[in-house]
Amino acid sequence: MIKVIILGAGNVAFHLTTNLLKNIEVKLVQVYNRDITKIQYLKNQTSITNNLTDLKEADIYIISIPDNAISNFSSKLELKNKLVVHTSGCTAMNELQSNSNKGVFYLVQSFSKERKVDFSKIPICIEAETDKDFKLLKKLAKSISNNNYSINSKQRESLHIAAVFVNNFVNHLYYIGNQICEENKISFEILKPLILETANKITSLDPINAQTGPAMRNDTKTIEKHTTKLTVNQQEIYTLLTKSITKTYGKKL
Amino acid sequence: MIKVIILGAGNVAFHLTTNLLKNIEVKLVQVYNRDITKIQYLKNQTSITNNLTDLKEADIYIISIPDNAISNFSSKLELKNKLVVHTSGCTAMNELQSNSNKGVFYLVQSFSKERKVDFSKIPICIEAETDKDFKLLKKLAKSISNNNYSINSKQRESLHIAAVFVNNFVNHLYYIGNQICEENKISFEILKPLILETANKITSLDPINAQTGPAMRNDTKTIEKHTTKLTVNQQEIYTLLTKSITKTYGKKL
């Protein structure tokens, strides 16, 4: 049994806690959070604390708090010869300031408290300073999901940027699509099957081969017609992405 | 039985032909295509022709050819008192130039020949000049899918623009994500579950509430770090979409 302590109660920490409580290869020894009211619901299932000096013994301490708080928070931990990891996509392993062994346990998924997550398919990117710690993290990763990857801090930073494009920015384009529908009294429901198919397609086709639409076809008549119908902000985005697509496919607008 | 003739052999025409051949409420009387070799595979299942003067009798003639060819092509049809429709998202009904009754039968989905399509979930947007024709198109739509909508030409134009954002532009962001992964020797497989979850999320959450990420959090430290790692083209898109997200959520960068 791998003994784990989770520090934090945000979306990632919440789902990871739920998973590890049911994980037969893991003993979730304790959950820490600064605001104890957020972890009160766990008091019958594991030890809870809001006091760093009360931390119990464990094999892995998982810090799952806002990215910009990791460095400072980790400097307060006194966990010599223990493995302390964070779950951040955009924080280098060496930003951990504890005098303990360092590692990273990055779950590549977008978590919301309201949505259940199928952990068995979540890619887990791990990094550690030593082989021994790497193996321990790999064991933990395997107990959670079938997909695990060795990703160093430099790669993880790029991976996180790529995730911003395919997750945050994509969702913003959904928002703009929704906005255009609302402005024209069209049900956004009409676009949902298209949104799902667009995502599903890339499981069998490379994005470069899945591209369709007026920009790809260099259909300047349609492109011009479209841009006149948009708000300034929508138009800027339409024009820049159209330019990028035509550039990608070697056509000139 | 609704008697239908399909004119065209592109992606939409191909999948619609496949569907209508199996549809028990429809008789696919004939398929026309300028280049007959593309529809030779149908010769044992229906009548095929590449000659417009050989068109048979039918209730609905469905033109499914490139958008910019519809107007000119339809002017060559001599089908008085027949219903002629197109399947284009970005072409007004009145761009049909035939002396017949006009209508539109727009399937809101992205079709590739290689991918099977579940027609039962595809939204079909219909428009017609007369009530009688509208009812006929609705009957055809219902025989194909559970989702049908009455959408006029003005709305359809906006719907098509929204589709460009949530389909064409989203796929281009997948491409950029893939590109960043390749440049850094990271498997794009790591991002696929995130891509699928991002799309699935909006079936239960409005895009405005599903937004996460550094732009949404106004995390300027991460945003600055990210932009230094990108190519000029990637950086332009990153900056514009970040600006648009922070504007949406009322924060200033």
Question: In the predicted model, is pLDDT for residue A251 greater than 80?
Answer: no
pLDDT tens by residue, B126-160: 999 999 999 999 999 999 999 999 999 999 999 99
| Comparison of pLDDT for B68 and B144, the residue scoring more | B144
- Closest A-chain CA to B236: A240
- On whether the CB atoms of residues A108 and A129 are closer than 8 A, the answer is no
- A-B interface: how many C-beta pairs under 8 angstroms? 324
Side chain identity, residue B117: V
Note the pLDDT tens digit of each residue in B198-243. 999 999 999 999 998 999 988 898 899 999 999 999 999 999 999 9
Distance from CA of B44 to the nearest CA of A (A): 31
Name all domains of chain B by residue range, CATH numbers in brackets: 2-151 (3.40.50.720), 156-248 (1.10.1040.20)
Cross-chain Cβ contact B178/A207 below 8 Å = yes
Task: Measure in Å the smallest separation between the Cα of B88 and chain A Cα atoms.
Answer: 12
Q: Which two tokens stand for residue B243?
A: 């600006």
Q: What percent of chain A has pLDDT over 90?
A: 88
Q: Which of B161, B202, B230 sits opposite A195 (nearest CB)?
A: B202
pLDDT at A30 over 80: yes
Containing A47, the helix (H) or strand (E) segment is strand A47-49
**What pLDDT sits at residue B114?**
79
pLDDT category of residue B252 using cuts at 50, 70 and 90: low
Question: Which pLDDT does position B217 carry in this prediction?
Answer: 87
Q: Say what the pTM is.
A: 0.92
Question: Between chains, do A226 and B169 touch, taking CB under 8 Å as contact?
Answer: no
Question: What is the reported pLDDT for B80?
Answer: 85
Contact (CB<8Å) B108/A198: no
Residues of B in contact with A239 (CB under 8 A): none
Query: Residue range B87-112: average pLDDT?
Result: 93
How confident is the model over A213-222, as a mean pLDDT? 89
From chain B, the residues in CB contact with A203 under 8 A are 192, 196
The three state secondary structure string of B154-193 is HHHHHHHHHHHHHHHHHHHHHHHHHHHHHHCCCCHHHHHH
In A, which residues are within 8 Å of B161 by CB distance?
Answer: 180, 226, 229-230, 238
Using a CB-CB cut-off of 8 Å, the residues of chain A touching B151 are 186, 190
- What whole-number distance in Å separates Cα of residue B159 and Cα of residue B153? 10
**Helix B232-248 vs helix A232-248: crossing angle, to nearest 10:** 160
User: Can you tell me whether residue B5 is helix, strand or coil?
Assistant: strand
